[in-house]
């Protein structure tokens, strides 16, 4: 009897440990033809395995609206222009010219590009793609500045704009995927279009397999690609819990979702090549401007003074970031303006600012009151960045503002912010580099022609500054860099002066790869497509070299 | 004799744990959320178990865990045992349709696996401790009702109970008369429930459900496992293992206590 009980007891603990251990077990094995396929014939099949999240079916409208989702479709679909480590390069358009009115662009297409079903890419497809995207708005590209697209001949297309649009080449021509007209013309609801036809494009890869539940993508090389066949035969993306471990075990050839500390450790071990670059990814605090207290400039300034950005970078991100600057633009950007008002950590000054604004703790409970209401708020945060939230909670607690942390998953946080259903939020996003069009997210009126990917949008009340709106609209038409820089500098000054958002840090990105597999990785200038911070530029797979 | 020693040891462990939970503000050298120390210090004079990635004292977090985990366990266990007991006595007292009704509801709650439902609801509830505690209470009384109802059905046939019923005693009177007979079983279930609640709390924290700033053992375990370098050096020895050991010790001590009660209960029958 007694023995049986002990046995029972023991098995209960075994079970408990098993459950605990089972949850922690990293699923490091990446599926796909890993071993055995590297035969000793002349070349062998070159398979490159990378880690990636499940970003949905990789057709134009079905993929995730996050930047990495767009990049998956960029393997299948080409655009008119593209970018490499030095800047803009031709892709489907071999050259282009701008008419004297600074509104009409003429693109001359390459003549040897084919869709993967064998039909050549023509000017008709380009015209169709622009018009289709105007008709069916896409979260990534907005075409509200395009007036008219005209086919001149089979390989020449003219795009007429409503007004001069400075970042047109990189932001628009470099982001509208050219879709085959003969397939898409009958598609009424592209968000449901996920048949094998929906992934036929002219890109360097074709989709061989997508597993929607496991989130595994297998891309096969398009041997007829007009820039030359990719150096690899297969590109496999799969969800991996512990990429560093998987890389070490040989289950991955390159790892992109690495913690900064992990990457530095891999670097010191020396077995893999590790790259470190600016992440065009910003982490910031969102205010809901429906709340009167957040309309007060002094409150936002006091918050910024009270938050020690250097300490957040050091402790919450393990030094894997650069501290944010008040002007919002990344210090490495060519548009960065260094002379904006800065807010170095100064808790006393923060307190004084609130005291002067009459926001004081009258009832002595340690929490300040604004118009008689205690300053207690919910701080929305993504559950993997609770450390940041905890630190902000502590800083603002010292200031006399009580926060309660609400942690949710990334999708929920994105959509709550977009719908304006939050009070304070901490969130990060890419699309943060390159052209100053990114500042469109602070423009409050409809006139603006620029747009930012909607994943960064914020709902609810808006921060309104007429000077900012006007100036933003004007600089978007300025084709001269020097003049435009001055305008953009002023925009940064306004942001630093009024703080519509609190820029906390810019994440650095790391990438580790096995030099025995693909070499030639590079960081794209201003990020891939619309400033996606990653090495996932399809040109790597064309220009790279195979190490084995 | 041996039985009593085990029981005493278990009780002693639990008592020490409770004292630590109560006295933690004076025992802890740091506030558990104070991140002013350097990050990732190994154990040393100032930091008994070193510091975590954010520079928080791990020993203080562990001590805070005594209070948080144990009080959550006690609250959940107390409330769910109370609900379960009252429902069980109601079954025996009202019988007929009331009994059938309560039992069918109980059946439904028993059929669904507790932890899954708790996870589901806790994920949708607010990120506050109170919400998570309520969800745990709401979904964990069914087992108790089921077990106690059987006992109550037998006990109600005892002479004293029949006499109370004859005198038109109400539910409360019956409950009071039943208590001496029901007590050993209730105590056993209460203690078992404590252990379950502690494990549930750890599981939820581990999965990232609930208040992310809560300093429970489950949270410490999660934070340790989230740290990418936990298994590189010996960091896991002072960051990951202590909370796991505390949790195991707590559940083990509770279990030893129940097994003992169980036996004495059997003997008295």
- The per-residue pLDDT for range B197-253, each reduced to its tens digit, is 999 999 888 887 777 778 899 989 988 988 877 887 788 999 999 999 999 999 999
Which of B65, B78, B79 has the alpha carbon at shortest distance from B20? B65
- What tokens does B61 get? 């977090």
Going by DSSP bridges, is the β-strand pair A545-546/A518-519 parallel, antiparallel, or unpaired? Answer: antiparallel
Q: Inform me whether the pLDDT recorded for A30 exceeds 50.
A: no
* A546: β partners: A518
Instruction: Classify burial at A97, counting beta carbons within 10 Å of its beta carbon; exposed 0-12, middle 13-18, buried 19 or more.
Output: exposed
Q: How many CB pairs under 8 A join A and B?
A: 69
Q: Give the E-state strand segments of A212-310 in sequence order.
A: 216-221, 234-238, 254-255, 273-287
Q: Which two tokens stand for residue A538?
A: 């399809």
Q: What is the DSSP string of B169-180?
A: --HHHHHHHHHH
- pLDDT surpassing 80 at residue A2: no
CB < 8 Å from B in window 251-270 of A: 259, 261-262, 265
* Predicted local confidence at residue A327, as pLDDT: 93
pLDDT of residue B267: 45
The Cα of B32 is separated from the nearest Cα of chain A by a number of Å equal to: 11
User: CA A163 to CA A447: how far, in whole Å?
Assistant: 12
- For residue A121, name the pLDDT band (cuts at 50, 70, 90): very high
ipTM above 0.90, yes or no: no
Q: Do the Cβ atoms of A476 and A171 come closer than 8 Å?
A: no
Orientation of helix B2-27 relative to helix B241-268, angle to 10°: 140
- What was the pLDDT predicted at A8? 53
CB of A79 closer than 8 Å to CB of A141 = no
CB A432 within 8 A of CB A330: yes
The pLDDT of residue A11 is 57
Could you give the C-alpha distances from B202 to A186, A424, B68, B199, B216, in angstroms and in order?
53, 28, 11, 5, 8
How far is Cα A489 from Cα A328, in angstroms, rounded to an integer?
A: 11
- Sign for the CA dihedral angle at A226, A232, A236, A242 comes to negative
Chain B hits for A381, Cβ within 8 Å:
212
Can you tell me the distance from the alpha carbon of A444 to that of A497, in angstroms, rounded to the nearest whole number?
A: 17
Q: What is the mean pLDDT of residues A203-227?
A: 94
CATH placement of domain A47-250+514-546: 3.40.190.10
- The pLDDT value given to residue A380: 93
Percent of chain A past pLDDT 90, that is, above it, reads: 63
Which of A11, A23, A345, A387 has the highest number of chain B CBs within 10 A, making it the mutation to test binding with B? A387
pLDDT band at residue A25 under the 50/70/90 scheme: very low
Tell how far CA A112 is from the center of its chain. Answer: 32
Q: In CATH, which of 3.40.50.300, 2.60.40.10, 3.10.105.10, 3.40.50.1980 is domain A279-508?
A: 3.10.105.10
- Tens of pLDDT, residue by residue over A416-475, are 998 999 999 999 987 677 788 888 888 887 655 555 665 567 888 889 999 999 999 899
pLDDT tens digits, residue range B101-121? Answer: 999 999 999 988 888 888 888
Distance in angstroms (rounded) separating the CA atoms of residues B170 and A241: 59
CA-nearest of A8, A23, A4 to B252 is A8
Cα-atom radius of gyration of chain B, to the nearest Å? 22
Q: Which of A191, A475, A448 is nearest to A329 (CA)?
A: A475
**Residues in contact with A420: Cβ distance below 8 Å, sequence separation at least 6, in sequence order:** A288, A290, A458, A459, A460, A461
In this predicted structure, what is the pLDDT of residue B268? 41
Buried b (16+ CB within 10 A) or exposed e, A287-311: bbbebebbebebbbbbbbbbbbbeb
| pLDDT mean across residues, chain A | 88
Q: Is-contact B172 B52, C-beta < 8 A?
A: no
Tokens 């969130």 belong to A427
- CATH homologous superfamily of B2-33+47-268 equals MetI-like (1.10.3720.10)
Token couple for A140: 């990534």
SS3 call for A92: coil
Q: pLDDT at position A13, please?
A: 56
Q: Which residues of B touch A (CB under 8 A)?
A: 33, 35, 39, 53-55, 126-128, 199, 203, 206-208, 211-213, 221, 225-226, 228-229, 232, 244, 248, 251-252, 255-256, 259
Give per-residue pLDDT as tens, A250-269.
Answer: 999 999 988 888 888 889 88
List every span in chain A annotated with CATH 3.40.190.10.
47-250+514-546
What per-residue confidence (pLDDT) applies to B225?
87
Query: Which pLDDT belongs to residue B235?
Result: 87
pLDDT at A31: 46
Residue A455 contacts by C-beta under 8 Å, 6 or more apart in sequence? A65, A66, A67, A139, A414, A429, A431
pLDDT (tens place) for every residue of chain B, 269 residues total:
467 888 889 999 999 999 998 998 888 889 888 888 888 888 988 898 999 888 899 999 999 999 999 999 999 999 999 999 999 999 988 888 889 999 999 999 998 888 888 888 877 776 678 888 998 999 889 999 999 999 998 998 888 888 888 888 788 888 888 899 999 899 999 999 999 999 999 988 888 777 777 889 998 998 898 887 788 778 899 999 999 999 999 999 998 887 754 454 454 43
**What pLDDT is stored for residue A44 in this prediction?**
80
Q: Are B205 and B122 in contact (CB under 8 A)?
A: no
Mean pLDDT, chain B, rounded, equals 86
Region A160-172 average pLDDT:
91
């Amino acid at each position: 009897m007694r023995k049986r009980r002990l046995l029972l007891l023991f098995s209960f603990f075994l079970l408990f440990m098993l459950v605990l251990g089972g949850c922690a077990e990293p699923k490091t094995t990446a599926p796909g033809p890993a071993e055995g396929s590297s035969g000793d014939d002349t070349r062998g099949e070159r398979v490159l395995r990378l880690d990636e999240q499940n970003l949905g079916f990789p057709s134009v409208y079905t993929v995730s609206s996050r930047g990495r989702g767009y990049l998956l479709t960029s393997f299948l679909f080409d655009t008119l222009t593209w970018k490499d480590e030095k800047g803009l390069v031709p892709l489907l358009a071999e050259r282009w010219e701008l008419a004297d009115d600074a509104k009409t662009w003429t693109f001359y297409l390459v003549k040897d590009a084919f869709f993967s079903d064998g039909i050549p890419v023509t000017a008709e497809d380009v015209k169709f793609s622009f018009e289709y995207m105007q008709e069916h708005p896409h979260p990534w590209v907005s075409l509200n500045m395009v007036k008219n697209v005209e086919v001149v001949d089979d390989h020449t297309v003219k795009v007429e704009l409503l007004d001069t649009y400075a970042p047109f080449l990189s932001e628009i021509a470099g982001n509208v995927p050219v879709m085959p007209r003969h397939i898409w013309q009958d598609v009424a609801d592209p968000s449901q279009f996920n048949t094998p036809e929906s992934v036929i494009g002219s890109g360097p890869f074709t989709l061989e397999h997508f597993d929607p539940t496991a989130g595994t993508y297998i891309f096969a090389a398009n041997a007829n690609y007009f820039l030359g066949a990719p150096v690899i035969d297969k590109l496999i993306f799969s969800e991996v819990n512990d990429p560093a471990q998987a890389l070490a075990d040989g289950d991955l050839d390159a790892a992109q979702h690495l913690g900064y500390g992990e990457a530095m450790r891999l670097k010191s071990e020396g077995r893999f090549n590790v790259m470190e670059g600016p992440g065009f990814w910003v982490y910031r605090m969102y205010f809901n401007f429906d709340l009167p207290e957040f309309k007060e400039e002094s409150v936002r300034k006091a918050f910024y003074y009270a938050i020690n950005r250097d300490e957040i970078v050091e402790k919450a991100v393990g030094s894997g970031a650069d501290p944010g600057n008040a002007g919002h633009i990344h210090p490495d950007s060519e548009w960065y303006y260094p002379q904006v008002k800065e807010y170095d950590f100064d808790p006393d000054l923060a307190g004084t600012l609130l005291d002067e604004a009459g926001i004081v703790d009258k009832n002595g409970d340690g929490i300040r009151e604004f118009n008689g209401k205690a300053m207690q708020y919910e701080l929305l945060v993504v559950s993997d960045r609770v450390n940041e939230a905890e630190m902000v909670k502590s800083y603002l607690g010292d200031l006399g503002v009580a926060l309660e942390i609400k942690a949710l998953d990334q999708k929920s946080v994105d959509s709550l912010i977009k719908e304006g259903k939050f009070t304070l939020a901490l969130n990060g996003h890419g699309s943060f580099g390159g052209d100053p069009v990114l500042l469109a997210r602070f423009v409050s009126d409809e006139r603006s022609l620029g747009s930012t990917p909607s994943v960064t949008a914020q709902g609810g009340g808006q921060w309104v500054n007429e000077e900012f709106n006007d100036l933003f609209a004007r600089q978007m038409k300025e084709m001269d860099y020097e003049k435009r820089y001055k305008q953009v500098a002023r925009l940064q000054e306004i942001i630093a002066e009024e703080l519509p958002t609190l820029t906390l840090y810019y994440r650095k990105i790391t990438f580790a790869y096995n030099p025995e597999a693909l070499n030639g990785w590079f960081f794209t200038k201003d990020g891939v497509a619309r400033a996606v911070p990653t090495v996932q530029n399809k040109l790597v797979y064309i220009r790279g070299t195979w190490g084995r | 004799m041996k039985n009593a020693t085990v029981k005493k040891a278990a009780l002693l462990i639990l008592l020490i744990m409770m004292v630590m939970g109560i006295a933690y503000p004076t025992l802890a050298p740091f506030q558990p959320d104070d991140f002013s120390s350097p990050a990732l210090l190994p154990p040393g004079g100032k930091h008994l178990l070193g510091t975590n990635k954010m520079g928080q004292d791990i020993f203080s977090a562990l001590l805070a865990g005594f209070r948080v985990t144990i009080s959550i366990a006690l609250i959940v266990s107390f409330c769910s045992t109370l609900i379960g007991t009252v429902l069980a006595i109601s079954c025996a007292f009202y019988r007929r349709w009331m009994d059938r009704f309560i039992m069918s509801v109980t059946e439904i709650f028993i059929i669904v696996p507790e932890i899954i439902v708790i996870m589901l609801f806790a994920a949708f509830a607010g990120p506050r401790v109170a919400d998570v505690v309520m969800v745990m209470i709401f979904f964990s009384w069914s087992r108790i009702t089921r077990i106690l109802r059987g006992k109550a059905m037998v006990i109600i046939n005892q002479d004293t109970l029949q006499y109370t019923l004859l005198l038109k005693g109400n539910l409360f009177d019956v409950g009071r008369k039943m208590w001496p007979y029901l007590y050993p079983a209730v105590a056993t279930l209460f203690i078992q429930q404590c252990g379950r609640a502690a494990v549930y709390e750890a599981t939820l924290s581990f999965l990232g459900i609930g208040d992310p700033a809560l300093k429970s053992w489950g949270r410490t375990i999660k934070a340790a496992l989230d740290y990418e370098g936990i298994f590189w050096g010996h960091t896991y020895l002072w960051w990951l293992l202590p909370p796991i050991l505390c949790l195991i010790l707590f559940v083990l001590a509770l279990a030893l206590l129940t097994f003992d009660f169980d036996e004495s209960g059997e003997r008295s029958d």
